[in-house]
Chain A
Amino acid sequence: MASRDHKSSAPPSIVDNILRRFCTSHLVEEILGDLHERYYLIEEKEGTVEAKRRYWREAIAYLRPAMFITDPSQLTPTNAISPAMLTNYFKIALRNLTRQKAFSFLNLFGLALGIGCSLLIFIWIQSERSVDNFHTNGDQLYQVYMRAYNGDELETSYRTPAPLPTELKQTIPEVEYASGFAKVLRLSQQGDIYEAFQVGDEKHKMKGSRAGTDFFTMFSYPLLHGTPETALSDPKSVAISRSMANLFFSSPEDAFGETMIFHTERGKQEVKVTAIFEDIPSTSSDQFDYLTNWDTWVENDEFKQFWGHFGTLTYVQLQANTNPDLVAEKVADFLTDYVDVPEGMNLRFELDLHPFSERYLYNNFENGQPNGGRIEYVRLLSIVAIFILFIACINFMNLTTARSLRRAKEVGVRKVAGADRRSLIYQFMGEAVLLTLLATLLALLLASVLMPWYNTLTEKQLFLPFANPIFWVGLLGLILTVGLIAGSYPALFLSALLPVRVLKGSLKFSTGNTRFRQGLVVFQFALSALLIIATIVITRQTEFIQNKHLGYDRENVIYLRLEGDLVDNYLTFKEEALRMPGIKHVDRSAQTPHQMGLSGSFVRWPGMNEDNPVSFTPSSVGYDFVKLMGIEVVEGRDFSPEFATDTSSFLVSELAVQQMGLKDPIGSEITIFGKTGPIVGVIRDFHTQSLHQSLRPVVLDVKEGLNFGTILVRTQPGMTKEALASLEEVSQRLNPAYPFTYRFLDDEYHTLYQSEQVVARLSNAFGLLAIFISCLGLLGLAMFAAQQRVKEMSIRKVLGASVSQIFTLFTKDFLQLVGMALLIAIPTAWLAMNEWLQGFAFRINLSWWIFGLAGVFCLGITMLAIGYQAFRTAQVNPTSSLRNE
């Protein structure tokens, strides 16, 4: 024929094989004939490549249910789904389960573990997603954030000037409500304010904030007493939580309308309880026990009224049906009219809106836009959950298929007795769904039992949402999906068996069939290896961050707030504290070393290029700060009270020297905020923020009358308890109005990485479980292979093979599969982890040993799982297995 003359090719044989396997026999001939004829026609017209491509398309177009079902014209009406047959199916399923207990256990337990794990993960994801999502006006709520362009540098944060909310509401008609919110702001995190309240003798430090009059109108925090409009309208009003009302008064009813004494930085004042709100749910990212009036706070502090001070949060609610993009455009240049940029400075501020409900999950800014953040962990764990479910499904499929060989005779008998293919498919699918149902029940049990442990792990209050109908619908969907996927291969494969072949003698799996199962094993192990590598990398990175030397010694450091009478009594406090046991150094500083957030180009130095400003992190400290924090002095000397001039001298970090381009830094005169003085020393660089941020140049000066910030205390190692007792004693004596509260620098540092830690723990736990599930499957397959090959091994043994030879023969196949899985997993893992690490300014290297370790671990585990089976097979006495031949 013409089509065959010009070097004609053959249609892809793989398609033919698949079709031949699954397609019902009465259609195979015409379909394959059509496909081939069409192939040569297209090849003649458009070439081989096009023909091959079209061949796949043509074949896929044939994928219809009718392809799998026996010729309807030859169907005899059967009682496939009669009650009697259903009981029979059920009975057979149960008998099969109980007959092979080890297999059934592996199969069920593996699947239950998989479903249980993904259930737990999805509950966590659900809770992460629900944060800040419960407000009725949620769609209209936005948080204002700011981009500060400082020359070429760009810094983005939520910090805005305190007068902004009121001004926005008055000027921009689309802004329906607006409220400020005060928090201690660090760069990476938002800290809370703790202040003392007093009623009679009852005195406690509570967590709270200031908020605008609109606050309760905008946000749906339910009020027990008071109305949203009046809750914060009075200048002396305070809204308190149910627990706070219970703490100070006996009940919320008694608290309403009462007065409390409120200790602020500016002394005592009387406030009146104008509203009581329900305790803030854990799904809110703002947590507070009380709120007081915003305007009073701003009016009482000139610094707060200053537009150039960025230190508070601004929430706005837009009018319904407003396009937020248009409003964002309007507010973009809003600050230009209000903020005076000092002459010669290349500073520009830009405002933008961030949907309030997204601020929790998308909490990272990149190039001035919210980009990623916690959402990446949510995604990461979603992938882990899906992987685990996948691995469990593959196990189930593999084990069921392997076991199905034993069911071949049953299929043969059923077919001879008149069962058609459809009823057999129903039977096997039904059985798989039934097993999945059992596994799911087991999984629910498992998840409930593990819940307390899981809550500690995630630091959340999670529970299985049994009351939620969507949960049940989802579960049902999961059961059907998993059951149908897991049951599909055995069902299609078994129902296609020919009774003649099955009933005549023993049936062996064809190579294609084995290949398919091997493919699944490879896939499953590749997923596991991927998870192992990810687990190692995430753990290592977390440890790296926790243990990285920060340039200062963060252990054995306690800090308290410089507040109340301590401001005036500081020197007495220091003197007395140093005489108490357990205390080594005491000093005050404007900021703690791990959260020196504020930075800007305030520094002037000789030879400075005005067009190219450098951002510095300046901080005011006492004389002992450098000594106390264990920061190394590289050049020059530390601050010392012996030099009277040190109140106007500076310490700078190495990076600062480098960025200023100073050849001989000691003695150079620099100016900050109008204060000019010489550099007396250069200190080693230290990290002023979390390791997500890169190092910043630091400039320190001494401020003798520092009246805000923190008191840092270094304790003698091992004497923390004594030191705390001493501090409490002195603090109570000198500052009786405030309850004694303190923090450990070390703990605070750890909270900077809380989300990383939780995710590291989660991925550790689930990574290990995924590997465990994979091994269960591998063990099952090894058991099956051992059963299959007992006779072969016995014959080899009779013919003179040694135990070790048989052992090698048996394990070789499996190790090859795992090796292949590693070849797939390692490059994929490298790419994925590399991407993840890019999010850290300081990160570990992806060294080869991580991948090596994962590989050795996978192979080792495989050896363990299979080794025992292999050993047993090799040990079998040939007479017992060959007796019947």
Chain B
Amino acid sequence: MRRSDLGEFEEVVLLSVAVLTPQAYSVAIAEALEEETGKTVTTGAVHAALQRLEKKGFVNSQMGEATPERGGRRKRLFTVTIAGSRILHEVQAVRNRLWNRIAPQGLPQINLT
């Protein structure tokens, strides 16, 4: 059923869910991602990613409270599952291992301010 374990966009969405819990829902996630990356992120894209993540079993969802901005509609709140937590850790471990193996001359120098 799974197409791949975790796509790149899915990864940041999943991380955002973890960051924003207990108020993790599509609009908040899209806003957070826009702020972090400086690029436009549509709620539609986030919604799609969340649906896929839920199908893969990395997040759970339940309906939350309604607000006037939503025209009185309820929002769907997401939390990371154990499987989700595991995959995030795995991804992080892979990345860390790779980072640690980079020799000093392996990356061109850029001046980070």
Binding site for B on A (CB under 8 A): 1, 3-4, 29-38, 40-41, 57-64, 66, 72
Q: Min CB distance, A26 to chain B, in Å?
A: 10
Q: What is the CA–CA distance of A197 and B51 in the complex, to the nearest angstrom? A: 83
Q: Which of B42, B74, B76 contacts A61 (CB 8 A)?
A: B42
Which chain A positions have C-beta within 8 A of B45? 61
A57 touches B69 (CB 8 A): no
B44 touches A30 (CB 8 A): no
In the complex, given contacts A34-B47, A57-B42, A61-B43, what are 17 additional A-B residue pairs having Cβ atoms less than 8 angstroms apart? A3-B69, A31-B47, A33-B71, A33-B73, A33-B74, A34-B26, A34-B27, A34-B75, A36-B71, A37-B69, A58-B43, A59-B44, A61-B45, A62-B44, A63-B44, A64-B44, A64-B48
B70 touches A36 (CB 8 A): yes
A4 touches B43 (CB 8 A): no
Within B66-90, the residues touching A (CB, 8 Å) are 66-71, 73-76
With A37-B27, A38-B43, A41-B27 in contact, is A30–B71 under 8 Å at CB? no
Q: Min CB distance, B17 to chain A, in Å?
A: 15
Q: Which of A38, A59, A63 contacts B27 (CB 8 A)?
A: A38
Of the listed residues B66, B68, B73, the one surrounded by the most CB atoms of chain A closer than 10 A to its CB is: B73
B69 touches A30 (CB 8 A): no
In the complex, whether B30 has a CB less than 8 A from a CB of chain A is yes
The secondary-structure label for the interface of chain B is: helix
Q: Min CB distance, B48 to chain A, in Å?
A: 6
Which chain B positions have C-beta within 8 A of A31? 47
Which chain A positions have C-beta within 8 A of B48? 64, 66
A32 touches B73 (CB 8 A): yes
Q: What is the CA–CA distance of A38 and B31 in the complex, to the nearest angstrom? A: 9
Number of interface residues of B (CB under 8 A): 24
One digit per residue, 1 when the CB lies within 8 angstroms of any chain A CB and 0 when it does not, for chain B 26-40 equals: 110011000000000
Q: What is the CA–CA distance of A66 and B26 in the complex, to the nearest angstrom? A: 16
Which chain A positions have C-beta within 8 A of B30? 38
Q: What is the CA–CA distance of A59 and B47 in the complex, to the nearest angstrom? A: 11
Q: What is the CA–CA distance of A63 and B31 in the complex, to the nearest angstrom? A: 20
Which chain B positions have C-beta within 8 A of A35? 43
Q: Min CB distance, A37 to chain B, in Å?
A: 5
Q: Which of A58, A61, A66 contacts B51 (CB 8 A)?
A: A66
27 A-B residue pairs with Cβ-Cβ distance under 8 Å, sorted by A, are A3-B69, A30-B47, A31-B47, A32-B70, A33-B66, A33-B73, A33-B75, A34-B25, A35-B43, A36-B69, A36-B70, A36-B71, A37-B67, A37-B69, A37-B70, A38-B30, A38-B43, A57-B42, A58-B42, A58-B43, A58-B44, A60-B44, A61-B42, A62-B44, A62-B47, A64-B48, A66-B48
Top 4 nearest A-B pairs by Cβ distance?
A61-B44, A33-B73, A33-B70, A61-B42
One digit per residue, 1 when the CB lies within 8 angstroms of any chain A CB and 0 when it does not, for chain B 7-34 equals: 0000000000000000001110011000
Chain B: which residue is nearest A59 at the CB level? B44
Binding site for A on B (CB under 8 A): 25-27, 30-31, 42-45, 47-48, 51, 55, 63, 66-71, 73-76
Chain A: which residue is nearest B66 at the CB level? A33
Chain A: which residue is nearest B45 at the CB level? A61
Of the listed residues A40, A58, A59, A64, the one surrounded by the most CB atoms of chain B closer than 10 A to its CB is: A58
B74 touches A30 (CB 8 A): yes
B51 touches A1 (CB 8 A): no
Q: What is the CA–CA distance of A61 and B48 in the complex, to the nearest angstrom? A: 9
Which chain B positions have C-beta within 8 A of A41? 27, 31, 69
Which chain B positions have C-beta within 8 A of A60? 44
Of the listed residues A38, A57, A72, the one surrounded by the most CB atoms of chain B closer than 10 A to its CB is: A38
Q: Which of A32, A57, A58, A66 contacts B71 (CB 8 A)?
A: A32
Chain B: which residue is nearest A2 at the CB level? B69
With A36-B70, A37-B69 in contact, is A30–B42 under 8 Å at CB? no
Of the listed residues A36, A60, A72, the one surrounded by the most CB atoms of chain B closer than 10 A to its CB is: A36
Q: What is the CA–CA distance of A3 and B70 in the complex, to the nearest angstrom? A: 12
Q: What is the CA–CA distance of A34 and B75 in the complex, to the nearest angstrom? A: 7
Q: What is the CA–CA distance of A63 and B47 in the complex, to the nearest angstrom? A: 11
Which chain B positions have C-beta within 8 A of A34? 25-27, 43, 47, 70, 75
B67 touches A30 (CB 8 A): no
Q: Min CB distance, A790 to chain B, in Å?
A: 42
Q: Min CB distance, A70 to chain B, in Å?
A: 14
Q: What is the CA–CA distance of A851 and B46 in the complex, to the nearest angstrom? A: 52
Chain A: which residue is nearest B61 at the CB level? A30
Chain A: which residue is nearest B42 at the CB level? A61
Which chain B positions have C-beta within 8 A of A61? 42-45
A36 touches B73 (CB 8 A): yes
Which chain A positions have C-beta within 8 A of B27? 34, 37-38, 41
Q: Min CB distance, A472 to chain B, in Å?
A: 34
Q: What is the CA–CA distance of A72 and B51 in the complex, to the nearest angstrom? A: 11
B68 touches A30 (CB 8 A): no
With A3-B69, A37-B27, A37-B70 in contact, is A30–B75 under 8 Å at CB? yes
Which chain B positions have C-beta within 8 A of A72? 55
Which chain B positions have C-beta within 8 A of A29? 73-74
Q: What is the CA–CA distance of A66 and B51 in the complex, to the nearest angstrom? A: 9
Q: What is the CA–CA distance of A64 and B31 in the complex, to the nearest angstrom? A: 21
Q: Min CB distance, B80 to chain A, in Å?
A: 19
Which chain A positions have C-beta within 8 A of B25? 34
With A30-B74, A31-B47, A66-B48 in contact, is A1–B42 under 8 Å at CB? no
A40 touches B74 (CB 8 A): no
Which chain B positions have C-beta within 8 A of A64? 44, 48
Q: Min CB distance, B68 to chain A, in Å?
A: 6
Chain B: which residue is nearest A10 at the CB level? B71
With A34-B47, A58-B42, A66-B48 in contact, is A1–B75 under 8 Å at CB? no
Q: Min CB distance, B110 to chain A, in Å?
A: 31
Which chain A positions have C-beta within 8 A of B26? 30, 34
Q: What is the CA–CA distance of A60 and B74 in the complex, to the nearest angstrom? A: 21
With A37-B67, A61-B45 in contact, is A30–B76 under 8 Å at CB? yes
Chain B: which residue is nearest A66 at the CB level? B51
Q: What is the CA–CA distance of A31 and B27 in the complex, to the nearest angstrom? A: 10
Chain A: which residue is nearest B67 at the CB level? A37
Q: Min CB distance, A733 to chain B, in Å?
A: 90
Q: What is the CA–CA distance of A63 and B42 in the complex, to the nearest angstrom? A: 12
Q: What is the CA–CA distance of A537 and B76 in the complex, to the nearest angstrom? A: 60
Q: Min CB distance, A41 to chain B, in Å?
A: 7
Q: What is the CA–CA distance of A30 and B43 in the complex, to the nearest angstrom? A: 11
Q: What is the CA–CA distance of A37 and B65 in the complex, to the nearest angstrom? A: 13
Q: What is the CA–CA distance of A323 and B67 in the complex, to the nearest angstrom? A: 67
Which chain A positions have C-beta within 8 A of B63? 30
Q: Min CB distance, A17 to chain B, in Å?
A: 14
Q: What is the CA–CA distance of A37 and B47 in the complex, to the nearest angstrom? A: 14
Q: Min CB distance, A218 to chain B, in Å?
A: 55
Q: What is the CA–CA distance of A142 and B26 in the complex, to the nearest angstrom? A: 61
Q: What is the CA–CA distance of A58 and B34 in the complex, to the nearest angstrom? A: 14
Q: What is the CA–CA distance of A4 and B48 in the complex, to the nearest angstrom? A: 29
Which chain A positions have C-beta within 8 A of B69? 1, 3, 36-37, 40-41
Which chain B positions have C-beta within 8 A of A33? 66, 70-71, 73-75
Q: Min CB distance, A400 to chain B, in Å?
A: 30
Q: Min CB distance, A814 to chain B, in Å?
A: 38
Chain A: which residue is nearest B71 at the CB level? A36
Q: What is the CA–CA distance of A1 and B47 in the complex, to the nearest angstrom? A: 25
Chain B: which residue is nearest A28 at the CB level? B73
Which chain A positions have C-beta within 8 A of B42? 57-58, 61
Q: Min CB distance, B70 to chain A, in Å?
A: 4
Q: Min CB distance, A722 to chain B, in Å?
A: 84
A1 touches B44 (CB 8 A): no
Q: Min CB distance, B85 to chain A, in Å?
A: 23
A4 touches B68 (CB 8 A): yes
Which chain A positions have C-beta within 8 A of B73? 29-30, 32-33, 36
Chain B: which residue is nearest A33 at the CB level? B73
Q: What is the CA–CA distance of A62 and B26 in the complex, to the nearest angstrom? A: 12
Chain B: which residue is nearest A4 at the CB level? B68
Q: What is the CA–CA distance of A60 and B67 in the complex, to the nearest angstrom? A: 24
